[in-house]
Amino acid sequence: MKKADLYIRVSTDEQADKGYSQRSQEETLRKYCQINNITVGQVIYEDHSAKTFNRPRWNELLAGLKRSRSRAELLLFTKWDRFSRNAGDAYQMINTLRKFAIEPQAVEQPLDLSIPENKMMLAFYLAAPEVENDRRALNVFFGMRRAKKEGRWMGTAPVGYANRIDEQGRKYIAPKEPEASVIKWAFEELANGHYAADQIRQEANNRGLTCSRSNFWNAIRNPVYCGKIPVCQFKEEEKTTVHGQHEPIISEALFYEVQDVLAERKRKERPKTQITVDENMPLRGFLICPKCGRMLTGSASKGRYNYYYYYHCVSSCGSRFKTENANSLFVKELRKYTPRPGMSDVYILSLKESYHEKTHSQQSDRRQLLTQIDELNLRLRNAREMVADQKIDPEDYRELKTDCATKITMLEAKLSGCAEAERGIDGLLYKAVDNLCRLDTLYEEGSTVQKRQIIGSIYPEKLVFDGFGYRTTRLNEAVRQIYTLDKGLMEIKNRKSNKNLCLSGEVVPTRIELVSKV
């Protein structure tokens, strides 16, 4: 006598508790087993969707099959849609059950799978529920999209609103106090541009709004608060917004003003945050410990008559340096990059030549882009004249206009990347070279903020100070090039560069030649 496990499935908990489907399926399956003289094993009740096999009771069934050796020979269910509504997953699961020597079978749609032609009917039985699911999902999607186009909000109400039902039974959203007033206040504060969005969110939460950081960011981007309903893009239809049927909390002008602030198109200037550093420790934050590689900090120690300042490491390595010594050595380090007298003209000449060489090709590209844009605009003008003369169809003109507009937009984007040749850079060059010649003086006479700006502009990476000198892995590229040029010219003057003086500095050494007798 064969043994069978019965699989009974409904889609939801409500169907399992209040419906009759489960009892009806069990009655049908037990009657089938009685007629065919089949012993009933375990009965599995499932209340999950059949779109996948990730179901709690089904997973328990598979785990039991792997552990037990005395398995049932059949797995019975009423129809194939009770087994699965996904054809691909169903075929894989049928193969898995067959590895356990178990044959799945639908009593109301019986199939002998040992006959090859029956597999075609199996494909139909498995595909039909999947098609039904897809059609139902598509109908729901189109219905919700139609409702959005009519200005109705679909789903759970956003923060600041509550779901309501009118006298005709239609669902809508309405402002909910005090959250709605707090949302309005948040938009007004964002429009002012004085505080960051997260600061406003924290204050809004203190005022009674319960909203996480991500939800708040989505809320201030949502046009529902100004009475608009967003409709997403679908196939040929573009993304758009429609006038909603609900009551707005803010005006459209306020909403779009906030969007400008968030997009940084209208952000007001804010004072830049500056690091407060004691004037006795301008190098604080730029030095690395030579022993452990950590950042050196700075502090003052109170002596009997005065305060004494030190750069020191916070770890146990014990690195500690007096600020007077470190600061004076840094000024000497800066003097290494001061050009020798008379080199200013050489720098300016070299920079001008390099500048013109770099910008020549750029200006050529710019002229070429401008020419292409003019040609496309001329082509559009000619096309408009041809439409007026009825030489081409309006539909062809629209396609040509779209194509030309796309190309013009791309060319203008490239054109914006090609900066125009700056005229009269002499003043800028003279000022820059003059500052370089007085670098140590500018550092010593400058404020703490100016000193830190000088340090950061010359050294893009941190400095290692060992108490006797400084070293760094990288210099600013402009400073490095100038310093290399100055050093190279000094080597030529001192006749020390073998690379540059390979011809003029070469002297043939004396040697003894052997004279051969004839």
Q: Distance between CA atoms of 249 and 395, rounded to whole angstroms?
A: 43
Q: Is the pTM of this model over 0.85?
A: no
Q: Is 337 exposed, middle or buried (0-12, 13-18, 19+ CB in 10 A)?
A: middle
| DSSP 8-state class, residue 75 | E
pLDDT in tens, 49-88: 878 888 888 888 888 888 887 788 888 998 888 888 888 8
Provide the pLDDT for residue 502: 36
Handedness of CA 247, 249, 255, 259 (dihedral sign): negative
Query: Other CB atoms closer than 10 Å to residue 278's CB: what's the count?
Result: 14
Report strand pairing: 240-243 vs 228-231. Answer: antiparallel
Residue 460: what pLDDT? 79
Distance of alpha carbon 485 from alpha carbon 141, whole angstroms: 70
**And the tokens for 86?**
């996904």
> How far is it, in rounded angstroms, from Cα 231 to Cα 239?
6
Cα 38-39-43 angle, rounded to 5 deg: 115
How many CB atoms lie under 10 A from the CB of residue 58?
A: 20
Please give the Cα distance from 240 to 230 (Å, whole number).
6
- The rounded distance, in Å, linking the Cα atoms of 38 and 32 is 8
Interior CA angle at 139 toward 88 and 18, to 5°? 80
Buried b (16+ CB within 10 A) or exposed e, 182-218: bbbbbbebbbebeeebeebbeebeeeebebeeeebee
Q: What is the pLDDT of residue 20?
A: 59
Q: Are 283 and 330 in contact (CB under 8 A)?
A: yes
Separation of CA 233 from chain center: 22
Judge: domain 161-262, CATH 3.90.1750.20: yes
What's the confidence (pLDDT) of residue 81? 84
- What string of pLDDT tens digits covers the 518 residues of the chain? 788 889 998 877 556 555 557 888 888 888 989 888 888 888 988 888 878 888 888 888 888 888 887 788 888 998 888 888 888 888 888 888 888 888 888 888 888 878 888 888 888 888 888 788 888 888 888 888 888 888 888 888 888 888 888 888 888 888 988 898 999 999 988 888 778 888 888 888 888 888 888 888 888 888 889 888 888 888 777 788 888 888 899 888 888 888 888 876 444 444 444 556 678 888 888 888 888 888 888 888 888 788 888 888 888 888 888 888 888 888 888 887 777 666 767 777 777 777 777 666 666 777 888 888 888 888 888 888 888 888 888 778 888 888 888 888 777 767 765 554 445 566 777 777 777 777 778 888 888 888 888 888 878 788 888 888 888 767 776 666 666 655 555 544 454 444 443 333 344 444 444 444 43
Of all helices (H) and strands (E), which one includes residue 243? strand 240-243
CATH (residue range 3-134)? 3.40.50.1390
Check whether the bond before 271 is cis (ω within 30° of 0): no
CA atoms within 13 A on the CB side of 102: 24
For the chain, which residues make up each domain, given as ranges? 3-134, 161-262, 290-335, 359-423
